[in-house]
C-alpha cells in the first residue's frame, strides 16, 4: 500500500490575485518574527471564511522548546480573534536574517501538521496551503494530506 497526495507546483506569475495577496502578507509577516536563535524568519497569513486575513510569525525563546512556529502562532491567533471562523487558505513564507526568501517552498513541521489537521477537522472545510519559495510554490488542497496516519480525536475514541 502507498500513501500519496496531489499538489500543484505554481510559479509566482501564475498565482491568482487573492493567493498572491496572501503570500505577500505571509512574506511581510516574516518581518515580525522573533528568531534570534535560528535566524530563520517564518511568516504565515490565514485567509478566513469571513474575508479577514490574520498573520503571525515564529516566536522563539532561549529555552528552545518554548518557542512557537509561525503556523501555530497564526492559527491560534486567528481562532482567538475570530472564534469558529474557518481558515480557507494558509500561506507560509520564510527568509534568513538577510531578508532573502528561501528558494524551496517552506513546509510545516510535524507538530504544526498535527495542529493544522485538528483545526481542519474542527472546521469541516478543507484548509488550502500555499507553501512559498522564491523559485516555486506548492499548493496543497487540504492540510490532512500532509500527515497520513495522524493521531487525532478519533484515535482517542479507538476509531
Ligand atoms: N519554523 C516555523 O515557524 N515554521 C515551520 O514550518 C518550520 C520551522 C520555525 C521554528 C523555529 O523558530 C525556526 O523556524 C527554525 O526551526
pTM: 0.97
Model pLDDT, residue 159: 83
- Across 47-75, average pLDDT: 98
Give the mutation target among 102, 109, 133, 146 for probing the ligand 1 site: most ligand atoms within 8 A of CB: 109
Q: What is the mean pLDDT of the chain?
A: 97
Residue 51: band (very low, low, confident or very high) from pLDDT cuts 50, 70, 90: very high
Name residues whose C-beta falls within 8 Å of residue 111's C-beta, 6 or more positions apart in sequence: 69, 72
Which sequence spans correspond to the domains of the chain? Answer: 8-148
pLDDT tens by residue, 32-42: 999 999 999 99
Residue 92: band (very low, low, confident or very high) from pLDDT cuts 50, 70, 90: very high
Is residue 77's pLDDT more than 90? yes
- Across 67-91, average pLDDT: 98
Ligand 1 mean position to 135 CA, how many Å?
A: 20
Which residues have any ligand 1 atom within 6 Å of their CB? 35, 38, 40, 42, 58, 60, 67, 69-71, 106, 108-109, 112
Ligand 1 mean position to 158 CA, how many Å?
A: 32
CATH architecture of 8-148: 3-Layer(aba) Sandwich (3.40)
Residue nearest to atom 16 of ligand 1 (CA): 38
Model pLDDT, residue 153: 87
Q: Which residues are catalytic?
A: 71
Q: In the chain, helix, strand, coil percent, each to 5?
A: 35, 25, 40
Is residue 154's pLDDT more than 90? no
Is residue 137's pLDDT more than 90? yes
Model pLDDT, residue 138: 98
Amino acid at each position: 500500500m502507498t500513501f500519496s497526495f496531489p499538489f500543484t507546483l505554481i510559479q509566482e506569475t501564475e498565482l491568482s490575485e487573492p493567493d498572491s495577496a496572501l503570500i505577500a502578507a505571509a512574506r511581510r509577516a516574516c518581518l515580525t518574527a522573533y528568531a534570534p536563535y535560528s535566524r530563520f524568519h517564518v511568516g504565515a497569513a490565514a485567509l478566513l471564511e469571513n474575508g479577514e486575513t490574520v498573520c503571525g510569525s515564529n516566536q522563539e525563546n532561549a529555552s528552545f522548546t518554548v518557542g512557537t512556529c509561525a503556523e501555530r502562532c497564526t492559527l491560534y491567533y486567528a481562532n482567538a480573534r475570530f472564534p469558529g471562523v474557518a481558515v480557507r487558505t494558509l500561506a507560509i513564507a520564510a527568509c534568513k536574517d538577510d531578508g532573502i526568501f528561501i528558494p524551496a517552498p517552506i513546509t510545516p513541521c510535524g507538530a504544526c501538521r498535527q495542529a493544522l489537521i485538528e483545526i481542519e477537522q474542527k472546521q469541516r472545510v478543507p484548509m488550502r496551503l500555499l507553501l512559498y519559495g522564491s523559485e516555486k510554490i506548492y499548493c496543497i488542497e487540504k492540510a490532512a494530506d500532509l500527515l497520513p496516519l495522524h493521531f487525532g480525536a478519533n484515535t482517542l475514541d479507538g476509531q
